Chains A and B, each alone.
Chain A
Amino acid sequence: LIFVSFQTVCRQLNSTLWLNVGGRSIHSSAVCCKNRAARIRVGKGDRPVTYEQALHPHQIAHRKGWLSQHTSNLQGEDGAADRTVEDLFIRRLIYGTFHGCLADELVIKRRGNLLVICALMLQKLPPHKYYFLVGYTEELLSHFYKCPVKMEIQMLEEKSVYKYL
């Protein structure tokens, strides 16, 4: 009871700011400290969810691994922001190129100069189409990032469900 109303009260407090049209006062309320990043909330129980999606980010390094592996977060290394932006670009590009075929998030590894994109895909297209898209992506990304890019694909029959939330 109490926390449901707490949440709605917060929202109402925040929304009441705009109802005070005449006055110009600062109104502060208690902050609603709720983490919402990369979590799927428990629902009815009919939504299938993979292992990656089911575990929350605080489980990284406990029950989860990293999706993007590079050394720029070590002491004295730079370029972390560039790597992150590259990762985002690559994820979107591959999500669009292999639309509907991805079974799970990409894992991007950097070994020296080489950029390895490890993807889990569903068996939706015949294999020669997958090879076409792989050749296309590798070539395009190599030319874009000026480094060799390799894709390693594993095929699944269907998405592996960890639990239903």
Chain B
Amino acid sequence: MASSYTHVGRQIHRATKLVRRDVKDALQRRYFGLGSATFQQPAATVSGSAEEIVIPRKKTWNKEAVLQALASTVNRDPTASHYVFQDDSYLTPRTSAEFKLYSLAQESGRTAAKYFINTYPKYFQKDFANPHIPCLMPETLELQVNEVSEAALIERIQLRKVKAAVDMYDQLLQAGTPVSLDLTNDLLDLISLYGDCDPARGDAPEQRTEEMGEEQEDVKRRKGMPQKASDFLRLVWRENNNAERIFNMMPERNRRSYGALIRGMVKHGAYSKAFNTYTDLLNNRLTGDVHIFNALISAAPEVREKYVEKWDLIVDLLKQMAEQKVKPTLLTFNAVLKALRRCGSLGRTQAFPVINEMKALGIAPSLATYDHVLGIFYKAATSAQGHTEILQDVLSEISGKSFTAQDPDDVEFFKDAMRICLATKDIEQAYRVHSLLGVGENWKLLGDSYYQSIYYGRFFNLLCMMEHIDVVLKWYKELIPSLYYPNSQGMRDLLQALDTDNRLDLIPQIWKDIKRMGHDNKTELVEEMLSLMARENQIPEVQQSFADCALDVKALYTQTDRRVPLSWSAGSLSSITSILLAAERTQQAWEMLKLFKLANRVPSESLMNQFLESVKASNNAQQAVELVQISASFCLSITPNLMERVQQEFDLTEEQRNTLSDLESSTAMSD
């Protein structure tokens, strides 16, 4: 009896393990019990026999069960700022500029500390951590070995000091000591990787040497784009630089040496040279390895013009790879697909055979593969052309899967997928892409804060366009500002969405958010908001809140304390005035009229009519006369009309009648 129970129990155990592995990633948060406990219960517990008491096997929990249970109760807190910041309202960033400033400030504090730790290591040597924590010990970044020897060369290579390593190599050769092939290959790898230039050290102050200046002259600087520092300097493979010189001096070269040179050339833009070096390699009766072929495939589109020629070159390279018995890897196929992106229509026909080949070889695609496929089928120019359902197919294939970073282009997938959803206005697919982010480790492949802002910006744009305002507001609370600081275009999209669904009463709240995010100096945004508020009359409470909001905006135009105030335009003045009038704040509306003169702007005729209506409601004849005077001072064409109406509808005193008739004659004369 017992043996059959254990046998069944083992079957169940195996089955639950299989089930567990599949659902673990998706359901880990909620059903922690499945993941962390192993049920060793036999299947047939309570089948019929009530007399038999079946004692269930003891449940064993794994070590993190309690933590997983607690974690499942905590979802992302949309009201909290990013985890690197302190949880205090003074220290929470409110705009994207502050976000960057504070995180960079913290990082620079850390590098300052690292500088002190590495410069005075003797205070940090006492090691009482058990077990030893190597990352908390000071690093030796200065050169220790100074005599001319192979050990010194090894040290310089490890510390990534390119120029010092090259000098040491030259000294070794001059001294006559032979340097081993492996070490020379290491040196070539170092030079090719860094393009014969020392990599910038994080904590050392910037040293502007003359060589750096030369290279930066002919490199286009991309200002305003928060890219990584390495993108600013595109190094060019100079003629006869140290790598080539050392390579030519080597008595014997092997595949690794050629590989270092070829990969360096491809990385730094000397594509045809790379192919020439490859021909040299073949002439010396050596075979290439997978890294060489990957580099050459990614360089192939640069050395040929026509699509067909490019593809033929790639096929040729792949055939040679097969002849030389080099096994392709994921990076090979990704390089092929990336090259196919530049092959136009040929790419579309060849993409799927490549993927089938990949699957036949048993290589699992990474997100970069799918990114290149999407790039091949959805070109930027053709937005709605071609009824491709590729995006749906791709998303169906990868839904529920967790990917790891295997290719540097993996991070492009999410923002490109969202770009395609935005271009095709497909909200369903956008939701699927967003849910893919929640699977397993995929959140790590969203990229740095710049890529994240692009992704969320496109997502929010699509939501504002396609969804009902309640859904939009739900996502607004969820995403902003914890994940994404919208720019002024994003806020305008939100205002458009409010307008479409007739929820203009929410504008004062959105105005508070706009101020907090620092977009209150963007004139188009403010004016659009004002015109939306001024367009129609609302119910009284809403109108009062609009009036308060309008006064707040007015303060922005007139304050001079800290920053440049906005400049008045006719539209903004009219909008604020009509909002104030509609809310029956006549005193403040009259003050606005005076501002027109100061700002040299002309009020519109509808505004004058609106004023007349409100004056009639309060039945103030003096104000009516003043209104006509103001209208005349602006030489509005509506002035005679106004005058007539005032004379007819108001009881005017003698004085007022005289003033009016004077005005009438003066305007008649000026006509």
| Interface residues of A, Cβ cutoff 8 Å to B | 123, 127-140, 142-144, 146-147, 151-155
Contacting residues, chain A, for B128 (C-beta < 8 A): 146
| Interface residues of B, Cβ cutoff 8 Å to A | 85-91, 93, 98, 101-103, 105-110, 112-114, 116-117, 123-124, 127-129, 133, 136-138
Contacting residues, chain A, for B102 (C-beta < 8 A): 127-128, 131
A136 contacts B88, C-beta separation under 8 Å: no
Number of A-B contacts (CB under 8 A): 81
A136 contacts B86, C-beta separation under 8 Å: no
Contact of B123 among A132, A138, A144 (CB under 8 A): A144
Known: A142-B136, A143-B136. A131 touches B113 (CB 8 A): no
B129 contacts A147, C-beta separation under 8 Å: yes
A140 contacts B113, C-beta separation under 8 Å: yes
In the complex, 14 of the A-B residue pairs with CB atoms within 8 angstroms, ordered by the A residue number, are: A123-B90, A131-B85, A131-B105, A131-B106, A135-B113, A136-B110, A137-B113, A138-B109, A139-B117, A153-B88, A153-B91, A155-B88, A155-B90, A155-B91
Mostly, the B contact residues are: helix
Q: Once bound together, how far apart are the Cα atoms of A137 and B101, in whole Å?
A: 18
B110 contacts A131, C-beta separation under 8 Å: no
Q: Once bound together, how far apart are the Cα atoms of A137 and B86, in whole Å?
A: 14
B108 contacts A135, C-beta separation under 8 Å: yes
Contacting residues, chain B, for A131 (C-beta < 8 A): 85-86, 91, 102-103, 105-106, 109
Contact of B86 among A123, A129, A142, A152 (CB under 8 A): A152
Contact of B129 among A132, A139, A146, A154 (CB under 8 A): A146
Q: Once bound together, how far apart are the Cα atoms of A4 and B117, in whole Å?
A: 54
A127 contacts B109, C-beta separation under 8 Å: no
Contact of A135 among B89, B98, B107, B136 (CB under 8 A): B107
Q: Once bound together, how far apart are the Cα atoms of A144 and B137, in whole Å?
A: 9
Contact of B124 among A123, A129, A144 (CB under 8 A): A144
Contacting residues, chain B, for A152 (C-beta < 8 A): 86-87
Contacting residues, chain B, for A123 (C-beta < 8 A): 90
Q: Once bound together, how far apart are the Cα atoms of A135 and B102, in whole Å?
A: 10
B110 contacts A135, C-beta separation under 8 Å: yes
Contacting residues, chain A, for B86 (C-beta < 8 A): 130-131, 134, 151-153
Contacting residues, chain A, for B91 (C-beta < 8 A): 127, 130-131, 153, 155
Known: A132-B109, A136-B109, A140-B117. A146 touches B136 (CB 8 A): yes
Contacting residues, chain B, for A153 (C-beta < 8 A): 86, 88, 91
Contacting residues, chain A, for B87 (C-beta < 8 A): 152
Q: Once bound together, how far apart are the Cα atoms of A137 and B113, in whole Å?
A: 7
Across the interface, name the chain A residue whose C-beta is closest to B126.
A146
Contacting residues, chain B, for A143 (C-beta < 8 A): 113, 117, 124, 136-138
Contacting residues, chain B, for A130 (C-beta < 8 A): 86, 91
Contact of A139 among B88, B89, B113 (CB under 8 A): B113
Contacting residues, chain B, for A146 (C-beta < 8 A): 127-129, 133, 136
Q: Which 6 A-B pairs have the closest CB atoms?
A: A135-B109, A139-B113, A136-B109, A146-B129, A135-B106, A128-B105
Q: Among B85, B89, B133, B138, find the residue whose CB has the most chain A CB atoms closer than 10 A.
A: B133
A127 contacts B90, C-beta separation under 8 Å: yes
Closest Cβ of chain B to A111, distance in Å, is 14
Q: Once bound together, how far apart are the Cα atoms of A137 and B93, in whole Å?
A: 21
Contacting residues, chain B, for A151 (C-beta < 8 A): 86
Q: Among B85, B87, B106, B107, find the residue whose CB has the most chain A CB atoms closer than 10 A.
A: B106
Contacting residues, chain A, for B101 (C-beta < 8 A): 128
Contacting residues, chain A, for B137 (C-beta < 8 A): 143
A138 contacts B129, C-beta separation under 8 Å: no
Q: Among A123, A140, A154, A155, find the residue whose CB has the most chain B CB atoms closer than 10 A.
A: A140
Across the interface, name the chain B residue whose C-beta is closest to A123.
B90
Contacting residues, chain A, for B85 (C-beta < 8 A): 131
Q: Once bound together, how far apart are the Cα atoms of A115 and B348, in whole Å?
A: 57
Closest Cβ of chain A to B70, distance in Å, is 15
Contacting residues, chain B, for A128 (C-beta < 8 A): 101-102, 105
Across the interface, name the chain B residue whose C-beta is closest to A147.
B129
Contacting residues, chain A, for B103 (C-beta < 8 A): 131
Q: Once bound together, how far apart are the Cα atoms of A142 and B117, in whole Å?
A: 11
Contacting residues, chain A, for B110 (C-beta < 8 A): 135-136, 138-139
Known: A140-B113, A140-B116, A144-B123. A132 touches B108 (CB 8 A): yes
Q: Once bound together, how far apart are the Cα atoms of A138 and B103, in whole Å?
A: 14
Contacting residues, chain B, for A139 (C-beta < 8 A): 109-110, 113-114, 117
Contacting residues, chain A, for B133 (C-beta < 8 A): 146
Closest Cβ of chain B to A128, distance in Å, is 4
